[in-house]
Structure 1
Amino acid sequence: MTMTTTRPVQDSRAGRWVARHRFIAFVALAYAISWSLWLGAAAGGGQAFFLLGGLGPMAAAAIVTAVSGGSLIAWIRPVWRWRVPARWWAYALGLPALLYVVATLVLQGLGFPVDWSLGIERLPDYLGTLVFVLFLGGAMEEPGWRGFGLAVLQERYSPLRATIVLGLVWGVWHVPIYGPAGFVVPWVLAVFYTLLWNATHSVGLCILLHASFTPAQDHLLLMPRQDAYTAVLDTPDWVILGTYLAAAGVVVAMTRGRLGAGLPR
C-alpha cells in the first residue's frame, strides 16, 4: 500500500513567505476581510455584513498562525487568561471612565453645560453597550490586534515603536467606519492597550478594556447631547483627544517607554 504524505502548509512557497512576513500578511488579510465585508454592507448587505467585518483581525490572525506553522491553541489561550492582579481589572474597567471624568471637568471649567446627574441616567445604556461590545466588538478584534499583531511586532521592536506601528494600522482599519480622521483616536489609545497586554498577557482583559472605552465614548461625556455633539471636531472632541494624549504621555513617561514590558505577572 502506498501512503501519500502532505507537506506542511508552512513548507509551501506561500507558507514560507507568510512565516517570514507574519505581520504584513496579518494586516493585509485583516483589511481585505473587513473592508470587503463593510463594502458589502454599504452595497446593501445589511447589518450582518457589517458585524462580520469586525471579525477580520481575528480571522486574519488565525489564518496567518495556521499557515506559518504556529499553534492556534497557544494563540487563542490568552483570551481566557483572567487570573491577573485586581489592579489590572480596575484598569480595564475604570480607566476609560476616569478619562471621561477628567474631560468633563475640563469642559465644565471652560463653561460648558455639564450635568453630573446624567451619569446615573445613562448608566443602563453604558452597561448595555459594554456587554454588547464585550461580545461583538472587542472580542472580535483583540485576539488579532493585541493577541497576534502586538505580540509579533514586539519580537522585533521596542514596546513603544510596536505600539506606534500597530496603533496606526488599527486606526486606519477604522477609516471606512469613522471617516478619514478615524485613525487618530485608536492610534493614541493603543498605548493603554499595550501596557495592559504587556502587564498581563491577557487578551481577555484587553477585550474588557475595549468594551469599557466604547460606552465611555458614547455615554460618559456628561453634557446634553445637543450640546456635546454639535459638529465634527468641535470643542468637546478636542478636549477628549487632548485628555487621551495627555494620559498616553503620562503612561509613556512613567514606564520610560517600556509600557509594561518586564513587569511581573
Structure 2
Amino acid sequence: MRSPVGAGRRLAGVVRRHPVASFLAWSFPVGQAIAFQPVLAPAWYGVDLPTAPFVVAANLLGLLLPAVVITGVVGGRAGVRALWRRAVRVRVPLRWYGLVLVVVPVAAAAVAGALLGAPEAIGRVLVSALLSGLLVQLLLGFLTTNWAEEVAWTGFLQTRLQDRHGPVRAALVTGPLFALQHASLAAGNGWLGGVAVLLFITATAVPFRFLQGWVANRTGSLLVVGLVHAAGNATTDGSGFGGAGLLPRLYPDGTVGPVHLLALAAVGLVVLAATRGRLGRPAARGASAATGTRPPAVPAGRRAPSRRAPGQPAGRR
C-alpha cells in the first residue's frame, strides 16, 4: 500500500516539473464543470440558474485557486508573496489608470461609432452612461470576476510562458486557452453558432493577450491588468450582475454586440507594433519574481559563464 506522504511528494514533484500542465489539468475540468451548470440545468434539473454566480465560482475555484496553490508548490511562500504583491499593486503612474478609464472606453466608442454611427441620445444620457454604465459595472466586474481571471491568466500562465518562450509566443498560446474558458458562454448559440463564437473570441483574444502582457510587464501590477479587462467588459456587457454597460446606454435601440472585443484587439495590435514585439518585457536577471523560479545553479568548481557582447573575445570585459 502506498504511503499518502510518498504519493503527495510524487504529486508535488510532478507539479514542480510541469506547473503549466498542472494548472490546465485543474483549471478546465473544475472551472468548466461549474461554468456549464446554468447551461445544463434546464435539461438536467428542469430549472433555470443564473449565469453570473457560477462564472464567479468557476473563476475562483478553477483559476485563482490553482494559480495560488501551484505557485506555492513551485515557489514556496516567497512565490505566493511575489504573486500577491503583483495582484494588489496599486501604486503605478496615473497614465495606466488613464488607459483603463479613457483609452479603453474611447476605443470601444470609436469602434461602435464606425459600425453603428453616432449615438442619438448622447447628450441626455452621457453622465448616467459614464457613472452607472462604465464605472459601476467596471468595479463590479473587477471585484467579482476579472481580477481573479487575470491573476491566473496573466500572473500565472502567461508570465511563465513568457519566461520560457518570450512575450509574443506566450500570448499566442494563452489566447486560445483564455478563449476556451468562455465555452459555456458561447454554448447558448447552438453547436455551429457556439463554434463560430469561440473562433471569433479566439481571434480577438490573442491581440488582447498582447495588450495584457504589455500592461503587466510595464506596471508589474495585475490589479491594473484586471482593471483593463473589466473596463472592456463594462463598455458593453457590464459585469453580469445587472445593469447595462456604457455603450448599450448610448445605443438603447441597437445591438452593440462584441464591440469591446474588437476594440481591445485593436489596441493590442497597436501595442504589438509599437513595441516591435517586445511587449515591455523586462530584461531577465536572476530569479523571476513573478514565478519564483531560479536559474540553474552552477556546479561547484565551475565558473559561471560571463556575459559579453556578441563578437567580444573571451576573457575580456
> Scaled by the length of structure 2, what TM-score is found?
0.69
Residues 60-103 of structure 1, C-alpha deviation per residue, up to 9 Å, x if partnerless?
10221233353322222211211111211212332320211321
List gaps (5 residues or longer) in structure 1. 1-5, 230-235
Secondary structure of the residue aligned to 1:256 is coil
Which residue of the partner structure matches residue 232 of structure 1? Answer: none
Q: Distance in 1 between matches of 2:228 and 2:107?
A: 13
With over 3 angstroms needed to count, the CA separation of the structure-2 counterparts of 1:77 and 1:155, relative to structure 1, is same
Letter aligned with residue 217 of structure 1: T
User: What is the distance in 2 between the residues matched to 1:116 and 1:160?
Assistant: 39
After superposition, the Cα gap between the structure-2 partners of 1:45 and 1:155, relative to the gap in structure 1 and judged at 3 Å, is farther
Q: Which amino acid aligns with 2:279?
A: L
Contact 1:41–1:50 under 8 Å retained in 2: no
After the TM superposition, which residues 156-175 of structure 1 pair with which residues of structure 2 at under 5 Å, given as runs?
156-175=164-183
SS of alignment partner, residue 227 of structure 1: coil
Please tell me the residue identity of whatever aligns with 1:62: V
| 1-structure distance, mates of 2:278, 2:213 | 9
* Secondary structure at the counterpart of residue 163 of structure 1: helix
Structure 1 residues 236-247: aligned runs within 5 Å: 237=258, 242-247=262-267
Q: CA shift at 1:13, angstroms?
A: 2.0
Other-structure match for 1:233: none
Q: How does 1:66-81 map to 2 (within 5 A)?
A: 66-70=72-76, 71-81=79-89
Partner of 2:274: 254
Q: Distance in 2 between matches of 1:98 and 1:211?
A: 14
**Residues in 2 aligned to 1:142 and 1:46: alpha-carbon distance in whole angstroms:** 26
Q: C-alpha deviations, 1:106-151, integer Å up to 9, x for none?
A: 135xx57654334334231322211211210112211111111111
Instruction: Report the Cα distance in structure 2 between the residues aligned to 1:170 and 1:26, rounded to whole angstroms.
Output: 13
| CA-to-aligned-CA distance 1:149-179 (integer Å, 9 cap, x gap) | 1111111011111011111111111111134
Aligned to 1:120: 127
CA RMSD of aligned residues (A): 2.6
2:109 match: secondary structure = helix
CA distance in 2, matches of 1:81, 1:240: 25
Select which of 240, 248, 251 maps to 1:224.
251
CA distance in 2, matches of 1:16, 1:242: 41
Identify unmatched segments of 5+ residues in structure 2.
Answer: 42-46, 188-193, 238-244, 284-317
Residue of structure 2 equivalent to 1:26: 23
Q: 2:162 aligns with which of 140, 151, 154?
A: 154
Choose the corresponding residue for 1:15, options 12, 15, 20: 12
1:40 to 37, 41, 44: 37
Give how far 1:27 is off: 1.9
Label 1:221 to 1:114 Cα distance change in 2 as closer, same or farther (>3 A).
farther
**Aligned partners of 2:136, 2:35: CA distance in 1, in Å?**
24
Cα 1:204/1:247, change in 2 over 3 Å = closer
Give the secondary-structure state (helix, strand or coil) at the position aligned to 1:262.
Answer: coil
How much does 1:45 deviate?
8.9
Indicate whether 1:96 and 2:104 are aligned. yes
> Which structure: larger Rg?
2
Distance in 1 separating the partners of 2:262 and 2:140 = 27
Name the CA distance, whole Å, in 1 between partners of 2:269 and 2:277. 10
Query: 1:136-151 maps to which residues of 2 (within 5 A)?
Result: 136-151=144-159
Select 2:64's aligned residue among 42, 58, 79. 58
The residue type equivalent to 1:261 in the other structure is: R
Distance (Å, rounded) in 1 between the aligned partners of 2:86 and 2:122: 37
1:23-63 deviations in Å (ceiling 9; x for gaps): 12112211122111123344359444442112121111022
What is the match of residue 114 of structure 2? 106
SS at match of 2:163: coil
Q: In the TM superposition, what is the alpha-carbon distance from 1:259 to its structure 2 partner? A: 0.8
Are residues 158 and 115 of structure 1, via their aligned partners in 2, closer, same or farther at CA, if it must alter by over 3 Å?
Answer: farther
> How far apart are the structure 1 equivalents of 2:264 and 2:231?
14
Conservation of the 8 A alpha-carbon contact between 2:113 and 2:119:
no
